[in-house]
Chains A and B, each alone.
Chain A
Amino acid sequence: MSSRVVITGMGVAAPNAVGLLNFEQALRNGESGIRFFPELKQLNFTCQIGGKPQIPEDLLKKYFTPLQLKGLNSSGIIYGVISGTDAWQDAGLEIDENAPADWDSGIIFGTGILGTDKFREAIQLIDQGKTRRLGSTSVIQTMASGISAYLGGILGCGNQVTTNSSACTTGTEALLMGFERIRSGQAERMLVGSCGDHGPYVWGGFDAMRILPGKYNEKPEEASRPLSASATGFVPGSGAGALLLEDLDSAVGRGAKIYAEVLGGEINSGGQRGDGSMTAASNEAVERCITRALKNSGISAGEIDVINGHLTATNRDSTEILNWTRALGRRGNEFPFINSLKGMTGHCLSASGSIECVASVLQMEKGFLFPNINCEEVHPEIQELISEDRIPKKKIDTEINILAKASFGFGDVNAVAIFKKYTP
């Protein structure tokens, strides 16, 4: 096996589009997937908007058997199975329930919390003394590894099948963990990704922390404003993204389409020391994560064409930009292009890293940069650090050779992945 890892398939269920082709269109057009939810208003949420993928009943039947659909009430599993199955098939791999297990293919599919609606159902029954009425799928729909377990059975994967969890870093971490497993020769293919449930039981805790915007309930599409002077908090989202990572020899051997190469990356934590805390990233750790990602990938800071940031639309956005300028030693008009998907999707929490990795790789493959929507006026602290033209407000067609993707999460955890346009 070679030591090179490439991406040969992708799938996505995002608030602004479901399916790779629809997603590409939504990215190009800068379409928002943020909507108002009457349910959140009824429940007295301050922020009554969010991002939720639109999944028609007919679509569900393509991915789940009638038996699987019976009592299925775990939105994270729905999004994860759709994106994971799509990525597998997009890579040209077969689904054959009569074939033996595929020992060379594994899954690392993360989540933050799974099956909250199913868990609520169970809690209500248990509290009424009706535990015996839970049925057989309460466990598999609410265990964190439910998503990798569902996908593992549908696809027949016989290598490592597991779920990782590191808050909003989860998706990018899954990608780097899968990358390492292939690089170390333990697997030929790893389906990596992450998913996150929608709804009040996931989003409520963030609303209580008062870090969500409360003034956009009448104009949801304008609410998520990364990098902007008027950003007032992140809009909660949900969904899933998936990428099929493959050893280069295996990919070339079966004539697979190659989207991009994963050069490497870094995963670390600030240890909640210094300026790092449970909810705020340590600046030193972020800087270190970026510089080590470059080193591990064998590239220099000057080679990065584009950054897809974490950039959630809180007051932390300017800090993130500061950390990038320090780590790369690039400022002003020397700074790479930078964009944030969260303007369109909101912050999809545990799903964000993988949805944003899919968006990053699509941009590289198709040669465009999606616009930073709702960023009419760049935050003054950011303007002091980088030139405004580094923040595309309209779609730009451009060749991208190297892209850096960052995700940061509660617990002071970070991940940075480096993608490169594939050349044999």
Chain B
Amino acid sequence: MSEKDIIDRLKKIVEPYVQRMEGLKNFQEETDFLKDLQINSANLVDVVLDVEDEFDIEIDNDSMEGMLTVGDAKSIIQRKISGR
């Protein structure tokens, strides 16, 4: 799976939770889920569950805590997919 593919699929997943639409237009590795997209922090667990379903992986609590940006999420997904 290419990095672009992962990021495209990630963008689709987070879209319903985004409260700042400008942030979505400029969706890239540096994009911060809370600051740039203003996703409600309570909804981050829902994003994680949706990521798990989409990529058929499991993201443990420690990995989730390090998932602040799109780039973080991409790396975690890549790592989990390769370890599957």
Contact = CB atoms under 8 A, between A and B. Distances in A.
Interface of A: 66-67, 70-71, 132-133, 135-137
Contact of A135 (B16, B46, B61): B46
Contact of A66 (B16, B43, B46): B16
B1 to A, nearest CB: 23
A125 to B, nearest CB: 11
A136 B16 contact: no
B49 A70 contact: no
Interface string B59-81: 00100000000000000000000
Going nearest first, the 4 A-B pairs with the smallest beta carbon separation are A136-B42, A136-B45, A136-B46, A135-B46
Contacts of A70: 16, 46
B17 interface: yes
Nearest to B60: A132
Interface of B: 16-17, 42-43, 45-46, 49, 61
A133 B46 CA distance: 9
A70 B13 CA distance: 12
B17 A135 contact: no
Contact of A67 (B16, B45, B49, B61): B16
A135 B40 CA distance: 13
Contacts of B61: 132
Contacts of A67: 16-17, 43
B24 to A, nearest CB: 14
Contacts of B46: 70-71, 135-137
B22 to A, nearest CB: 16
Interface centre among A67, A70, A137 (most CB of B within 10 A): A67
A71 B17 CA distance: 13
Contacts of A71: 46
A65 to B, nearest CB: 9
A133 B16 contact: no
17 contacts: A66-B16, A67-B16, A67-B17, A67-B43, A70-B16, A70-B46, A71-B46, A132-B61, A133-B49, A135-B45, A135-B46, A135-B49, A136-B42, A136-B43, A136-B45, A136-B46, A137-B46
B40 to A, nearest CB: 8
A254 B49 CA distance: 47
Contacts of A137: 46
B18 to A, nearest CB: 9
A422 to B, nearest CB: 42
A272 to B, nearest CB: 41
A354 B20 CA distance: 38
A78 to B, nearest CB: 18
Given A67-B16, A132-B61, 8 more contacts: A66-B16, A67-B17, A67-B43, A70-B16, A71-B46, A133-B49, A135-B49, A136-B43
A146 to B, nearest CB: 14
Contacts of B43: 67, 136
Nearest to A70: B16
